[in-house]
A = this chain, B = another copy of it.
Amino acid sequence: MAAAGVDLLLVTDANHIYWLTGAEDWAFYTPLYVLVSAKHSMPFWYGRAMDRPGAQMSTWLDADHVIGYPEDYVQQTDRHPSDHLVGVIADLGHARSAVGYESESYYFSIRAFDHLRKGLPNARFLDCDLLVNRLRMEKSDAEIAYMRDAAGIAARTMSHAMELIAPGVRQSEVMAEIFKTQIAPDERFGGTITGLSPIILAGEKAATAHPAWNDDKFESGQTIALELGGARRRYCSGLARTMHLGTGLPDEVRRTEAAVEEGMQSVLECLRAGIEAQDVHAAWQKVLDRHGLKKDSRIGYGIGVGFPPDWGERAVSLRRGDNTILKPNMTFHIILGMWMEGWGLELSETVRVTTAGFECLTQFPHGVRLKG
């Protein structure tokens, strides 16, 4: 905060709020923030009064650091929770402070910001987008342990989904079992929903990256990619694999599979602390060029705590031009998605960067699985 030049940081991203305080309830669909003040050693939870008891139970904050706004500020046209927040910020001694805010948070609206600025004319607002995202990048041992558990959930879910997928089975039936397995994978512990929704890319829908599932039945001859994950205590690990319903792979699928497999090996071989994010992409691009294939999009991003709608941390992307230096215990979802004309193929791993190389958190066989 000192480096960012702010005395008060208004944290509005649900992922950051959980990471800072443990607040995990589904309370972020109305304004819910955490206030980090240079004048106070403990942050403040600020949300709807009806959600206050939940915050007291789920966070490590003292009761007087859990502040609720009255119900009559909720979803009104003539007032906003920001109007109430103005008084709270003034009481904390920050009416004339430099206040940091997140300019690209799903849960801090233009209107919320407008009302706050109007109510605090003597404060100075500074865009602190990505400040907390960057702090989250290097994981602690406890966070890595959760992500390992999450990767285990993802593998179990992938395995179960692939067992179920067969000609004549509906996408929705498989998706129902995917969610069930994610949330109750085995007797050890439960999971949660992942930030990014599980995705089934089947048939021509596999030509697009994020199709909604439906009641279509899987058909013989379809190439089917699954992008799904696991989440343990909101820490997500992603996993994508591809299968083909048939006795042999079409030539185009086989050729693309070979390129993607080689690309993944090349990416993993170069991965270690000290290199730049774009170096990882360059390793992939070299393979892709040799195979005469084309892919515009990035091949990965930082991953961690993920409430809907996303599990990406947004601070680093594995792509050309991103010169972020990789550090030990950064975690990435490396996703090689090839969305072709009328079909598609995906292969991904969730990895932890180490000094010597990497640890692959996800453990699931490679290769397009044939199911005849």
Binding site for B on A (CB under 8 A): 24-29, 48-55, 57-58, 70-72, 74-75, 77, 101, 103-114, 127, 129-130, 170-173, 175-177, 179-184, 189-193, 196-197, 199, 204-205, 207-215, 296-298, 301, 307-310, 312, 314, 317, 319, 321, 339
Contact = CB atoms under 8 A, between A and B. Distances in A.
Contact of A208 (B51, B172, B177, B205): B51
Q: How many copies does the complex hold?
A: 2
Contact of A25 (B109, B130, B182, B211): B211
Contacts of A57: 204-205, 208, 211
B110 A110 contact: yes
22 contacts: A25-B208, A26-B197, A26-B199, A54-B208, A57-B205, A71-B297, A75-B312, A75-B314, A77-B130, A101-B110, A104-B110, A109-B110, A110-B110, A110-B113, A175-B190, A176-B180, A176-B182, A177-B180, A179-B193, A192-B213, A193-B193, A308-B309
B193 A197 contact: yes
A205 B54 contact: yes
Given A109-B110, A176-B183, 19 more contacts: A25-B210, A26-B211, A27-B209, A29-B309, A52-B208, A54-B210, A57-B204, A57-B205, A57-B208, A58-B212, A74-B317, A103-B109, A108-B110, A173-B190, A176-B179, A180-B180, A189-B215, A193-B193, A307-B309
A88 to B, nearest CB: 18
A20 B146 CA distance: 40
Contacts of A107: 106
Contacts of A193: 179, 193, 197
A111 B104 contact: yes
Among A74, A112, A196, the most chain B Cβ lie within 10 Å of the Cβ of A74
Contacts of A101: 110
A187 to B, nearest CB: 9
Nearest to A206: B53
B53 A208 contact: yes
